[in-house]
A and B are shown apart, each in its own frame.
Chain A
Amino acid sequence: MLSYIAKRILSLIPVMFVVSCVVFLVVYLIPGGPATALLGMEATPEQIEALNTELGFNRPFLVQYADWFTGIFRGDWGESYFLHQSVLEAIAEYFTPTLSLAILAQLFALLLSVPLGILAAYRRGTVLDVASVSISLLGAALPGFMLSMFLMLFFGVYHQWFPVAGYASLAEGIGEHLKYLFVPALSLGIVQAAYITRMTRSSLLETLYKNYIRTARSKGLKEARVVLRYALKNAAPAILTAVGQSFGSLITGTIVTETLFNIPGIGMLTMGSIDRRDVFVIQGVVLFVTFLYVLVNLIVDILYGFVDPRLQPGRK
C-alpha cells in the first residue's frame, strides 16, 4: 500500500511540472509582458519597460522560469499590485469561505445523489427512475449559476427564509455562517448531484444483477441489507470516482456562485483580479486550485483500497 501511494505521488510530479509550465506561460505570453496588463492602456512605453525590468521580465526565458519555479517552493508566489499583499497571503485570506462552501455543497450533493441513485437503480424503469434520470440530464445542461439565481429568487427574494446574499464568517457563530451559505451550497450541491446520481445509478445497476446478489437474496437476507451492504459496497468506488472527478467542476462552480452571492472567497478574488488584470493573483489561484484538485484525486485513489480491498495494489 505504502509503495503504491509513493508511486502515485511520484506520478504527479510530471503532471504538476506541466501545470507549472502552463501557468507560467500564461503570464509570459501576455502581449507586451505582464507590465502592460498591470499598468493598463494609459501607461507609457517607458513605464512598462521600467516595471518589466523591476519584475525581471526582460531576463532570458529559462532564467525567469527557474526563478519563478523555485519561488513557488520558497512560498514566493509573487505580489498582487492592487491588494498590496503577497499572492499567497491573498489566497489564504480568501480561501476559508470557499472551502466552507465547497464542503457544504459536497455534503448536499452526496445526501441528495446517493439515495436517489440507489432508489433509481433499485426501482429501475419506474416513474422514479425516469424522473431521476431526466433530472440528472437537466442538471447536466444547467449552468450552475442559473440554478443559484433561481434559488436566490425563491429563498431570498420571494420567501425571505434566507439572506439574499452576503457572508458571515465562522467566528460569528455556526448558525449565522450556515444561514448565509445554505442557498449557494444547495444550488452547487444540486448541480453536483446530477452527475453523481447518474454514476451511482449506473454502477449499482451493474452490481444488482451479479451472482452474489442473487446468492444473498436466496439466503433470505433482507432486501435493505442486500442493497445497502452488498450492492452499495461494490458500487462505492464508482461513486468515489464521481466525487473526485466532479471536484474540479465543484470548485469552478463555487467561483462563479460566490460572485453572485457576494461571498468573499476565491471566486471574488478571481473576479476582482480579472477586472484589474492582476495576472499574478490569477496565476496563483490557478496553481493553487489545480494542486487542490490533484490532491483530492490522489486521496480518492488511495481511498479505493479501503473501500474495496480487491482494488488494493499488490493483492491478487
Chain B
Amino acid sequence: MSLLHKNVSAVSEAIFREQRQLRKERLLASPGLIIGFVGFVIILILAVLVPALSSADPNAMVVVDRLKPPSAEHILGTDEFGRDLFVRLMYGARVSLWVGGCVAIFSCVLGVVIGIYASYFKVLDHILMRICDGLIAIPGILLAIALIAALGTSSWNVVVALTIVYTPSVARTVRASAMVVREQPYVEAAKVQGFSDFRILWKLILPGVISPLTVQASFIFAQAIISEASLSFLGAGVPAPAASWGNMLQASKLVFSKAPWTMICPGAAVVVCVLSLNLMGDGLRDFMDPRTKGGAKK
C-alpha cells in the first residue's frame, strides 16, 4: 500500500516538474510578455516613487522659465506656465494609470458578474446580451463623451464612463468562455449532486473564465489610457490643473509648434505604456493558448 502511494507521489512529482519545465519554455518563447511586463512595471515604479521621493510641486509655475527646452535643470523642459515637465509627467502617470487601472478592474468585475449569469440563465442571457449589443454598437469615445457631458467633467466620471464603455465586451468574452465550461461533465456532476447555482457559478465556472479575462484586462487597461488621453484632449477628461498625460497633450496643443517637447514627452509616455500593456496582453494570450508550443517556433 505504501509502495503504491510512494509511486503515485513520485509520478505526480515528475508530472509537475515536466509541466513547470513546459511553462518555462512557453514563457521564454513569448518575449513580448516579458518585455511588456518589465516595461509596465518600470512605469508603475516611476509613477509611484518619483512623486513620493521628490518634493517638487507639479503645479508650481515659474513664469520666467516658460517653454524652456530640455536642459540640466529641467530634464524634459518646461510647459507654457513654466512647470517642470518631468515632474508633471510622473504625476500624470499616476492619474493615467489610476484611470486605466480602475477602468480595467471595474469593467472586469462587472463584466464577470454579467457574463457569468448570462451564460447560466437563459432569460437573463437574452436581456443582458441585447443590452451589451446596443452598448457595443455605440463608438466608445462617443459614448464616453456623452456620459461625461451629462455627468460633468471629473476624473471619477471618466472612470465611470469608460467602465460603461468597456464592460459589455468583457461580459461577452466571459459569457463565451463560461458557455464552454458549463457543458463540462464536472459541472453536470455538480448539478446532479445538488450544488446550488451560486456555488456552481462562482466555484466551478469562474476559474474557467479567468485566463481569457486577464488577457482582456490588460488590453482594456491600455485602451482606457488611450481613451483618457483622447477625452482629456477634447476637454472632456481629467480637469486642469491636475496633470494627466491627456491633459498635458491638450495643453501642448497651442504651443507644440514652438515647443515640440511639450507634446513628445507625454505622447511618448502614452505610447510606451500602451505598447507595454498590449505586448503583455498578446504574450499572455500566447502563453495561455495550449496550441502555442514552447522552445522552437511553429
Residues of A within 8 A of B148 (CB): 274
B132 to chain A: closest residue by CB: A18
- Determine whether B104 belongs to the interface, using a CB cutoff of 8 Å to chain A: no
* A145 near B139: Cβ-Cβ < 8 Å: no
Q: Mark B124-161, 1 if CB is under 8 A from A, else 0.
A: 00000011011101111111011111110000000000
* B133 near A14: Cβ-Cβ < 8 Å: yes
Partner of B131, one of A18, A138, A140, A255: A18
* A290 near B130: Cβ-Cβ < 8 Å: no
C-alpha spacing A137/B270, complex, angstroms = 14
- Determine whether B279 belongs to the interface, using a CB cutoff of 8 Å to chain A: yes
Interface residues of A in 113-138 (CB under 8 A from B): 137-138
Partner of B274, one of A27, A141, A149: A141
* A145 near B142: Cβ-Cβ < 8 Å: no
* A18 near B139: Cβ-Cβ < 8 Å: no
- Determine whether B211 belongs to the interface, using a CB cutoff of 8 Å to chain A: no
- Determine whether A21 belongs to the interface, using a CB cutoff of 8 Å to chain B: yes
Contact A256 to B230, CB < 8 A, known contacts A145-B249, A289-B142: yes
* B140 near A138: Cβ-Cβ < 8 Å: no
Partner of B130, one of A14, A27, A144, A293: A14
- Determine whether A259 belongs to the interface, using a CB cutoff of 8 Å to chain B: yes
Partner of A37, one of B139, B150, B234: B150
Residues of B within 8 A of A248 (CB): 139-140
Partner of B150, one of A14, A17, A29, A294: A29
Q: Which of A212-220, A224-232, A275-283, A308-316 contacts B (4 or more CB under 8 A)?
A: A275-283
C-alpha spacing A37/B130, complex, angstroms = 30
CB distance from B152 to the nearest CB of A (A): 8
* B139 near A252: Cβ-Cβ < 8 Å: yes
Residues of B within 8 A of A252 (CB): 139-142, 230
Residues of A within 8 A of B263 (CB): 146, 149
* B142 near A260: Cβ-Cβ < 8 Å: no
Residues of B within 8 A of A157 (CB): 257
C-alpha spacing A145/B263, complex, angstroms = 11
A273 to chain B: closest residue by CB: B149
CB distance from A257 to the nearest CB of B (A): 10
- Determine whether B105 belongs to the interface, using a CB cutoff of 8 Å to chain A: no
* A141 near B278: Cβ-Cβ < 8 Å: yes
- Determine whether A107 belongs to the interface, using a CB cutoff of 8 Å to chain B: no
Residues of A within 8 A of B275 (CB): 137-138, 141
Interface residues of A in 134-160 (CB under 8 A from B): 137-138, 140-146, 149, 152-153, 157
* B147 near A26: Cβ-Cβ < 8 Å: yes
Which of B234, B249, B274 gathers most chain A CB within 10 Å?
B234
Which of B145, B229, B235 gathers most chain A CB within 10 Å?
B145
* B257 near A256: Cβ-Cβ < 8 Å: no
CB distance from B216 to the nearest CB of A (A): 15
B227 to chain A: closest residue by CB: A143
Partner of A274, one of B130, B138, B143, B234: B234
- Determine whether B226 belongs to the interface, using a CB cutoff of 8 Å to chain A: yes
Contact A141 to B142, CB < 8 A, known contacts A17-B134, A22-B135: no
- Determine whether B222 belongs to the interface, using a CB cutoff of 8 Å to chain A: yes
Residues of A within 8 A of B236 (CB): 274
B142 to chain A: closest residue by CB: A286
Interface residues of B in 246-274 (CB under 8 A from A): 249, 252-253, 256-257, 260, 263, 267, 270-271, 274
* A153 near B260: Cβ-Cβ < 8 Å: yes
Partner of A146, one of B140, B151, B267: B267
Contact A286 to B143, CB < 8 A, known contacts A30-B151, A141-B278, A146-B249: yes
- Determine whether A23 belongs to the interface, using a CB cutoff of 8 Å to chain B: yes
* B137 near A15: Cβ-Cβ < 8 Å: yes
- Determine whether A19 belongs to the interface, using a CB cutoff of 8 Å to chain B: yes
Interface residues of B in 1-45 (CB under 8 A from A): none
Residues of B within 8 A of A256 (CB): 141, 230, 233-234
CB distance from B133 to the nearest CB of A (A): 5
Which of B229, B230, B263 gathers most chain A CB within 10 Å?
B230
- Determine whether A270 belongs to the interface, using a CB cutoff of 8 Å to chain B: yes
Which of B137, B233, B256 gathers most chain A CB within 10 Å?
B137
* B134 near A19: Cβ-Cβ < 8 Å: yes
Partner of A290, one of B139, B252, B274: B139
Residues of B within 8 A of A153 (CB): 256-257, 260
Residues of A within 8 A of B147 (CB): 26
CB distance from A277 to the nearest CB of B (A): 6
C-alpha spacing A293/B270, complex, angstroms = 27
A21 to chain B: closest residue by CB: B134
- Determine whether A249 belongs to the interface, using a CB cutoff of 8 Å to chain B: yes
B257 to chain A: closest residue by CB: A157
A23 to chain B: closest residue by CB: B146
**Besides A143-B270, A259-B233, A271-B235, 9 other CB < 8 A contacts?**
A16-B134, A141-B270, A146-B270, A149-B249, A153-B260, A256-B234, A260-B253, A274-B234, A290-B137
21 A-B pairs with CB atoms under 8 Å apart are A14-B133, A17-B134, A19-B137, A26-B147, A30-B151, A137-B275, A143-B229, A143-B267, A146-B267, A146-B271, A149-B263, A152-B257, A153-B256, A164-B257, A256-B233, A259-B233, A274-B148, A279-B150, A286-B146, A290-B137, A293-B137
